[in-house]
Amino acid sequence: MNLKNLYGLFLLGAFSASPAMAETGIEQVCQRIANKLASVKYAECDSGLVLSGASSIKHTPILMKEYPPVATRVPQSRVLLVGGIHGDEYSSVSVVFKWMKTLNQHHSGLFHWKVVPLLNPDGLLQRKSMRMNANGVDLNRNFPTRNWVEEAEHYWVKRTHRNPRRYPGKLPLSEPESRWLYGLIEEFKPDAIVAVHAPYGVLDFDGPPRPPKRLGHLYLNLLGAYPGSLGNYAGVENNIPVITIELPHAGIMPSKQQISHIWTDLVRWLKKNTPRREQLLAPATAADNQAGPS
């Protein structure tokens, strides 16, 4: 089966996980997260998250929450926020829950958000958390970049010396977690993606337009694009701005002030650099038609 057919089957639902497959529900997953992460209280988790319809290798549901448009305004843009792509980056999950608490209190409809606090539950929710999923695949090397077949394994062998923490899998989208996120991006069509990681303590960026120079105490330091990475797939190849927030520590939370400052600067950048939906939907004017190709 070629990759085009594989993607087509996924979009038709052939690889979608049924909620009936999940061994646990929202309450059980939230309890496991709260038991694992001292910085996440059960009530913070069980506050409107829903079953996405997808589950991990070990049948743990992937949870998400939508902050939809409100009746009084057209959202400026769609934003996808993802944490816990790597299961041993604890702070990347916890910080997303803190920002969800802010959205729970202050969602104004300025943006249409979809938030996935923990993409890789199997990596996190085991006795010794690990970067990869239960199949030993680095989900951030499993997205369908154009030359994945030619480049991903070569990079893994030659550049990482078969580092198991960087294993890209046998095929792009071989894993249910990456397949689901790929499908969500195709369906939601975000104007920006924010991925939270740790522990490099920098701000990374892929795609257009100009990146933020800093978010809070994190300064821009481009780390490069890798075969199969989310930034490469969505940012470089599909022109969706991908902001990668690399927190300084995987196991230590930033201060409340730092978390707040990162969030404030992120929202400010999104306001200035993502399109207003009404502008995208507006018919072309004569002046637009005279502007030439862009």
pLDDT for residue 15 is more than 50: no
pLDDT for residue 21 is more than 60: no
Of the pLDDT bands very low, low, confident and very high (cuts 50, 70, 90), residue 286 is very low
Instruction: Check residues 17 and 260 and name the one with the higher pLDDT.
Output: 260
Helix 3-11 to helix 176-188 angle (10° resolution) is 70
Of the pLDDT bands very low, low, confident and very high (cuts 50, 70, 90), residue 6 is low
* pTM, full prediction: 0.88
pLDDT in tens, 44-91: 999 999 999 999 999 999 999 999 999 989 999 999 999 999 999 999
Select from 215, 197, 205 the least CA-distant residue to 94.
197
Map tokens 């399109």 to a residue: 275
Tokens of 29: 């997953």
Tokens of 186: 């195709």
pLDDT in tens, 146-169: 999 999 999 999 999 999 999 999
Q: What is the pLDDT of residue 16?
A: 44
Q: What is the pLDDT of residue 5?
A: 53
CA 10 to mean position of chain CA atoms: 19
Of the pLDDT bands very low, low, confident and very high (cuts 50, 70, 90), residue 272 is very high
| DSSP assignment of 84-139 | -SSTT-HHHHHHHHHHHHHHHHH--SSEEEEEES-S-HHHHSSSS--SS-TTS--G
Task: Walk me through the domains of the chain, giving residue ranges and CATH numbers.
Answer: 3-276 (3.40.630.10)
CA–CA gap between residue 269 and residue 210 (Å, rounded): 10
pLDDT in tens, 233-264: 999 999 999 999 999 999 999 999 999 999 99
pLDDT for residue 10 is more than 80: no
CA–CA gap between residue 262 and residue 14 (Å, rounded): 39
Tokens of 22: 């999940």
